Amino acid sequence: MDLKELCKKFKAYAPHVDTSLLEKAFLFSAKAHTNQNRASGEHYFVHCEAVADTLVEFKLDMPTIAAGLLHDVLEDTPVNAETLRREFGEEITCLVEGVTKLDALQFSSQDQAQAENWRKMLLATAQDIRVILIKLADRLHNMKTLNFLDRDHQLRIAHETISLYAPLAHRLGMFELKSELEDLAFQFLHPKEYQELSTKILAQMAGRQAALNSFKKTLEEHLKSSGIPYRLLSRTKSLYSIYEKMNRQNKPFEEIQDALGVRIIADTLADCYAILGIVHAVFKPVAGSFTDYISIPKMNLYQSLHTTVVAATGDLTEVQIRTEDMHRTAEYGIAAHWKYKSGEKDKENPHLEEKLNWLRQWIEWLQDLKSPREFLESLKTDLELNQVFVFTPRGDVKALPAGATPIDFAFAVHTDIGYTCVGAKVNNKMMKLDHVLKSGDVCDILTRKGSVPKKDWLLIVKTARARSKIRHYLREKGVVT
């Protein structure tokens, strides 16, 4: 993609912003990477262009796209931070430095090196969320060109992508990117299974297309007669999510029935629930399949109604219903709200700063972990895609990673409650503090004045918040270092 095309794409969503900075970054990076090639044989700058193009697709701001073009100049060219600061200013230089790897440091092991890279990236992210968006765009293009590397490098990078980068994209609510990263990694980690599944899905789609079209036609007839404005889209599960579901449920592909589905985009919140009523009136809902992520959004801001219904053909079809704003957030996650950095108030999301606060806090808690292995394990746990929703006795809901305990819940409610926790009632029954909580549980934490955290709690808790708070207390008392 050339400079003219990049500027045109940017102008499509930011018509009043001067593109001279973008043009300067483009030409500066192209010159800095002169005579450098990638493993594919392509000129290195092709990678920088691809990263910028992804950031434009996310509709990010000018400094982020400029930093995307420049993200490798400090690491791979003679350009230093002072030159970059003089040419592009503090903001863009900080973004580039946030993305730059720690090659100069000596590590005792690969595990520690990986942990330190993530620690640096997350620390930078705590200051500016755009660093991680550039890093994810960088990883996406690296995954698309992974076939040019040797098998050992392919396996290492694909494993890192599926275990850390894809879950991080999910945590940021960037579902399209998460699915793309997973499918690219899946292709290299399990090539045989990937090929078999691809073939089966293509065959199924051809076979089920007529049934899906019939379902959509019936649905549209009823939606049109209601007079509610809507958009109807088809939805296909990603290959890796189907593969995971097969393994999780121990079922062959033929028994996975919600690989295809539809998404209905409505104008208003009230319309979403009205459409849900129509869907359930026309098609029989599958018991226990309805989830309301509008009333209880996921921690990554995702909102939507999910239900699975039985079509006239007997096929199970998943239906997702959301507003245009929810759809934008579901596609791009936190990237959909890039305006928050420029000081503008997001009129559609007046409490966005508050919503983003969980991410900043979570990153700060992770910084507290001293052991690289513990850091990575805690990171993976907190990136856990499966969440449980647990209620306080007053009806407030707390979202926790699967496997969380009453101690995690206590610290999620308040630090002081965590510190003085001595027991827990779950659904009015006394439970041990290592009890694993489930969605829908009502948890009542019992406290005692003067009670303090115990060292063995570190073996029980799952969340970075609880672990950080316990460690902080014990460190102050000299129990742990």
Question: Which residues form the catalytic set?
Answer: 75-76
Q: Residue 198 class from Cβ within 10 Å (0-12 exposed, 13-18 middle, 19+ buried)?
A: middle
Residues near 204 by beta carbon (within 8 Å), at least 6 away in sequence: 253, 259, 260
Provide the 8-state DSSP code for 442.
Answer: B
CA 317 from centroid of its chain's CA atoms: 25
Eight-state DSSP code of residue 441: -
CA angle 85, 89, 91 (to 5 degrees): 110
**Token reading at 278:** 């129509």
Query: 356: buried, middle or exposed (CB in 10 Å: 19+, 13-18, 0-12)?
Result: middle
- Closest Cα partner for 96 from 87, 105, 104? 87
Q: What CA–CA distance (Å, rounded) separates 362 from 126? A: 9
338, 352 contact by CB (below 8 A): no
Q: Which helix (H) or strand (E) holds 446?
A: strand 443-447
Kindly report each contact of residues 146-150 with a partner whose C-beta sits within 8 Å and lies 24 or more positions away, as own/partner. 146/184, 146/188, 148/38, 148/39, 148/40, 148/41, 149/39
User: Whole-angstrom Cα distance, residue 284 to residue 43?
Assistant: 56
What does the alpha-carbon distance between residue 264 and residue 231 come to, in Å, rounded to a whole number? 6
Going by their DSSP bridges, the two strands 316-323 and 260-266 should be labelled as parallel
